[in-house]
Amino acid sequence: MRRVLVTGADGQLGKCIQKISKDFSELEFEFHTSKTLDITDSKNSAEIFSKGNFDYCINCAAYTNVEQAEKTPAQAYKVNAKGVRIVAETCLEHQVTLIHISTDYVFDGTKKTGYLPKDETNPINEYGKSKLQGEIYIQETLKDYFIVRTSWLYSEFGKNFYKAVIQKAQAGEDLIITDEQMGCPTNANALAAYVLGLIKNKATNYGIQHFADGEAMTWYDFAKRILRENNLEGRVKLDKAKNYRTFARRPKNSVLLR
Ligand SMILES: NC(=O)c1ccc[n+]([C@@H]2O[C@H](COP(=O)([O-])OP(=O)(O)OC[C@H]3O[C@@H](n4cnc5c(N)ncnc54)[C@H](OP(=O)(O)O)[C@@H]3O)[C@@H](O)[C@H]2O)c1
């Protein structure tokens, strides 16, 4: 039976993988949260890998607070770059295939059409830079790896835009949402199924891939769709934000094409 280590198992994607892992009876899973496996701790990682006899590692561990990363970039680099290098080196030592999750924010958003895996990267915020450095470390270290870039994750787990829109609408709060960024909302459950499918199908098309399961839209369009899907249309006012500013710069277009 093939053994699969999942890091960051308490995060949004990690929880989706835990949920559907039951449908993959041919795989044996070991789930680790940040409390039982800190990917920035090489000793801790070595211990877990030595005991585990894993065939695959799905790295869901990440520093994902885009705004905070701008203020304290060292924290983001510690997990998304140095931590990922430790994961890659430990995978190499134990002959484990790494499936790592990366982001649409490795792109600067100036392309007029969607981004392909081979397109030039040029992150414009610290989170994106730290994630790109993680990708580079993996490419320098391993031959058998998948880097799966994804975008705008939502699910029933964790904090995400989908849940925030529903919560605000149910509380009767009007919504002002930017229409200045285009991307592909992606259900984290679909991403979880895709990643486990790579293992199930013994995929060998190693390298960088893009996975997004929704059509391209703006955050404003996405909010509109969320309200419609949950019969909340008309309950609150939905306006387009003019000159919406966040601390971290965000790519205007981060549509991912396969
Ligand atoms: N969310 C999105 O919209 C989005 C978009 C594009 C790409 N991605 C990528 O998709 C992946 C999954 O994202 P997600 O939404 O599931 O993120 P998430 O909910 O923030 O989960 C990340 C998990 O990583 C854990 N973690 C943080 N530092 C760690 C460390 N040093 N060692 C081990 N675990 C650690 C966190 O645990 P603690 O809470 O205990 O710190 C958390 O459980 C990430 O690689 C992210 O960059 C996400």
Q: Is residue 225 part of a domain?
A: no
Q: Is residue 101 part of a domain?
A: yes
pLDDT tops 80 at residue 11: yes
Q: Is residue 127 part of a domain?
A: yes
> One of 115, 127, 137, 145 is an active-site residue; which one?
127
Alpha-carbon gap, residue 166 to 158, rounded angstroms: 14
Predicted pLDDT at 214:
84
Q: Is residue 177 part of a domain?
A: no
Q: Is residue 253 part of a domain?
A: no
Query: Looking at 125-129, 138-142, 233-237, which range is the least confident one?
Result: 233-237
Closest C-alpha among 3, 70, 78, 4 to residue 41: 78
Q: Is residue 246 part of a domain?
A: no
Q: Average of pLDDT values for 226-247?
A: 90
Q: Average of pLDDT values for 177-201?
A: 97
Q: Average of pLDDT values for 171-194?
A: 97
Closest residue by CA, ligand 1 atom 7: 103
Alpha-carbon gap, residue 194 to 117, rounded angstroms: 17
pLDDT band with cut points at 50, 70 and 90 for residue 245: confident
Q: Average of pLDDT values for 19-47?
A: 98
pLDDT tops 80 at residue 244: no
Q: Is residue 200 part of a domain?
A: yes
pLDDT tops 90 at residue 168: yes
Predicted pLDDT at 42:
98
Predicted pLDDT at 166:
97
Q: Average of pLDDT values for 19-37?
A: 98
pLDDT tops 80 at residue 243: no
**137 classed as catalytic:** no
| Number of alpha carbons in the 13 Å side-chain half-sphere of residue 121 | 20
Q: Average of pLDDT values for 214-222?
A: 96
For ligand 1, which residues put their CB under 6 angstroms from it?
A: 7-8, 10-14, 34, 37-40, 60-64, 79, 83, 101, 103-104, 131, 150-153, 158
Token representation of residue 240: 């387009």
Predicted pLDDT at 161:
97
**For the chain, how many structural domains are there in total?**
1
105 C-alpha vs ligand 1 centroid, how far in Å?
A: 14
Range of the domain at 154: 2-159+184-216
In DSSP terms, 27 is beta-bridged to: 2
Are residues 3 and 54 in contact, defined by beta-carbon separation less than 8 angstroms?
A: yes
Gyration radius from the chain CA atoms: 18
Closest C-alpha among 99, 110, 165, 102 to residue 129: 102
Closest residue by CA, ligand 1 atom 26: 61
* % of residues, the chain, pLDDT over 70: 100
User: 161-170 vs 219-229: helix axis angle to the nearest 10?
Assistant: 60
Alpha-carbon gap, residue 25 to 140, rounded angstroms: 33
Q: Average of pLDDT values for 180-185?
A: 97
CATH number at residue 69: 3.40.50.720
Give tens-digit pLDDT for 78-112.
Answer: 999 999 999 999 999 999 999 999 999 999 999 99
Q: Is residue 251 part of a domain?
A: no
Are residues 180 and 221 in contact, defined by beta-carbon separation less than 8 angstroms?
A: no
Atom of ligand 1 nearest to the CA of 14: 16
